[in-house]
């Protein structure tokens, strides 16, 4: 009996191998898949108070970020504001996946003078990071680290997102991709922005 080259089994095996190779070698494809999983409810963030906030006031003047014009911003300069910091890289699939949701969150708060966003490119390549934002039509503010970062702020996992309240306390620290455009995150950030 003659075997069929184009059998369902053979075609599905080829499709599975191609899909696997695409996921392994193309960060945009992997990012796309993670975005689809976010849209069906996976990667939802559990926003809750996780014990006492970590006070960063004693080290905030040592944590520096640089924008595209070489302006330096220290965390101590931002005391009295809520600070949303996302540590990311252009080659990181989970970073790529969560970026649209961070853009939606940013659009919600971009006119709120009490909230500051810092998208910290951990490759320290501002031009490449800004080109990525421009290509994706994101308006998120890109920075690069201008100092070493303490382990409690950034331990090396990409993406990592932290939120700092107006008192200079880290109240949120999430490693891995998350859906930042969801209602719970918006309400949480809104609440932080209204605190005295």
Give whole-number Cα distances, 41 to 28, 38, 117, 126, 179, in Å: 20, 5, 25, 32, 9
**Cα separation, 73 vs 70, whole angstroms:** 10
With respect to CATH, is domain 54-194 assigned 3.40.30.10? Answer: yes
* All CATH 3.40.30.10 domain ranges in the chain, comma separated: 54-194
pLDDT tens for the chain, 196 residues long, are 455 777 777 667 766 676 666 666 666 776 666 666 666 666 667 676 556 789 998 898 999 999 999 999 999 999 999 999 999 999 998 999 999 999 999 999 999 999 999 999 999 999 999 999 999 999 999 999 999 999 999 999 999 999 999 999 999 999 999 999 889 999 999 999 999 8
Give the pLDDT confidence score for residue 57 in this predicted structure: 86
Give the pLDDT confidence score for residue 47 in this predicted structure: 73
Q: Please write the tens of the pLDDT for every residue from 29-38.
A: 766 666 666 6
**Cα dihedral 38→43→44→47 (10° resolution):** -150
């Amino acid at each position: 009996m003659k075997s069929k080259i184009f059998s369902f089994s053979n075609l599905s095996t080829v499709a599975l191998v191609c899909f696997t190779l695409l996921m392994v070698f193309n960060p945009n494809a992997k990012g796309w898949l993670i975005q689809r999983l976010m849209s069906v409810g996976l990667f939802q963030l559990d926003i809750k108070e996780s014990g006492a906030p970590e006070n960063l006031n004693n080290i905030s003047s040592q944590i520096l970020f640089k924008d595209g014009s070489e302006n330096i911003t220290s965390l101590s300069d931002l005391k009295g504001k809520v600070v949303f910091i996302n540590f990311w890289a252009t080659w990181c699939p989970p970073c790529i996946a969560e970026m649209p949701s961070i853009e939606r969150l940013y659009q919600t708060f971009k006119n709120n003078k009490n909230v500051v966003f810092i998208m910290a490119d951990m490759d320290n390549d501002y031009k490449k990071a800004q080109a990525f934002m421009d290509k994706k039509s994101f308006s998120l503010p890109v920075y690069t680290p201008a100092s070493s970062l303490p382990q409690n702020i950034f331990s090396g996992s990409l993406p990592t997102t932290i939120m700092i309240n107006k008192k200079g306390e880290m109240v949120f620290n999430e490693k891995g991709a998350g859906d930042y455009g969801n209602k719970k995150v918006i309400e949480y950030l809104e609440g932080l922005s209204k605190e005295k």
